[in-house]
Amino acid sequence: MKNLTYRQANLADLNWLAETEQRCFQQGEAFSRRTMQRMIGNIDNSVFFDILEVSRKSVGYALYLFRRKSTLLRLYSLCLLPAYQGQGLLKPYLRERMRGFAVNYKKIGLEVRVSNIRAQHLYRALGFTTEKILAHYYPDGEDGYRLIKVLAADPRF
Ligand SMILES: CC(C)(COP(=O)(O)OP(=O)(O)OC[C@H]1O[C@@H](n2cnc3c(N)ncnc32)[C@H](O)[C@@H]1OP(=O)(O)O)[C@@H](O)C(=O)NCCC(=O)NCCS
C-alpha cells in the first residue's frame, strides 16, 4: 500500500506547484505562480505549506493559513494529482496533521464547493461539519460550504 509523507515546500517546488495547480483546479480558480511564491515566502509567519510525497515523488500539496493569536487554522487548499486520487491516501495524513495542530489551534476550517462531493466525503469522514452555507461564494457564482472541525484531543483521530 502507498504511504503518503509530507515535507515543507520551498522555492525549488515552485514550477511543480504551478503546474500541479493547473491540473487540480479550474481555470480562474487555480493560484498563480506568483501567489504560490508569496505563500512559500510566508512560511513560519502565516502559512504551513506541505508538499505531499509518495516514495519521495511530489504528488500533491496542502496549504494552511493562520493568524497570530488566533486559534483558528484554515485549510486553504488541498490537492492530489489525479493519478493518486481515490486511494484514501489523504485521510491518514490529515489525521496526523490535525493531531499535531491540536496543540496550538482549537479549530480548523475550510471552504468547499457544493458540487465537490468527493472533497466533502473526505472532510466529513474526518469529522468536519457544516458551519455555514456561503451563497455565491465562488467566482462563477457557485455556493460553498464552510466546514469546521474542533481540534480538541479526539480519540478517533
Ligand atoms: C478532493 C481530493 C483532495 C480528495 O482526495 P482523494 O484521494 O480523491 O480522496 P479519497 O480517495 O480519500 O476519497 C474521499 C472520499 O470520497 C469518496 N469519493 C470518491 N470519488 C467520489 C465521487 N465521484 N463521488 C462521491 N464520492 C466520491 C471516496 O469513496 C471517499 O469516501 P469514503 O472515505 O467515505 O469512502 C482530491 O480528489 C483532489 O485533489 N481534487 C482536486 C482538488 C480539490 O477539489 N481539492 C479540494 C478543494 S476543497
| pLDDT for residue 156 | 57
pLDDT band at 123 (very low <50, low <70, confident <90, very high): very high
Q: Flag whether 45 is in a domain.
A: yes
Q: Flag whether 155 is in a domain.
A: no
Q: What distances in angstroms separate CA 143 from CA 25, 67, 111, 118, one per listed residue? A: 16, 25, 10, 16
Q: Flag whether 156 is in a domain.
A: no
Cβ neighbours of residue 118 closer than 8 Å, sequence gap 6 or more? 85, 86
Q: Is residue 81 within 6 Å of ligand 1 at its C-beta?
A: no
C-alpha cell at position 108? 480548523
Q: Flag whether 96 is in a domain.
A: yes
| pLDDT for residue 107 | 96
Q: Is residue 90 within 6 Å of ligand 1 at its C-beta?
A: yes
Q: Is residue 120 within 6 Å of ligand 1 at its C-beta?
A: no
Q: The pTM is what? A: 0.93
Q: Flag whether 157 is in a domain.
A: no
Q: Is residue 11 within 6 Å of ligand 1 at its C-beta?
A: no
Residue 32: give its domain's CATH number: 3.40.630.30
Domain span including residue 13: 4-150
pLDDT, tens digit, 9 for 90 and up, residues 32-48? 999 999 999 988 889 99
| pLDDT for residue 50 | 97
Mean pLDDT of the chain: 93
Across 138-155, average pLDDT: 88
Above 90 in pLDDT, residue 29?
A: no
Above 80 in pLDDT, residue 133?
A: yes
Across 108-136, average pLDDT: 97
Q: Flag whether 31 is in a domain.
A: yes
Number of domains making up the chain = 1
In this structure, which residue's CA is closest to atom 5 in ligand 1? 85
- The b-or-e profile of 58-92 (16+ CB within 10 A means b, else e) is bbbbbbbbbeeeeeebbbbbbbbbeebeeeebbee
pLDDT band at 157 (very low <50, low <70, confident <90, very high): low
Ligand 1 probe mutation, 90, 111, 112, 118, most atoms within 8 A of CB: 118
Q: Flag whether 139 is in a domain.
A: yes
Across 91-97, average pLDDT: 95
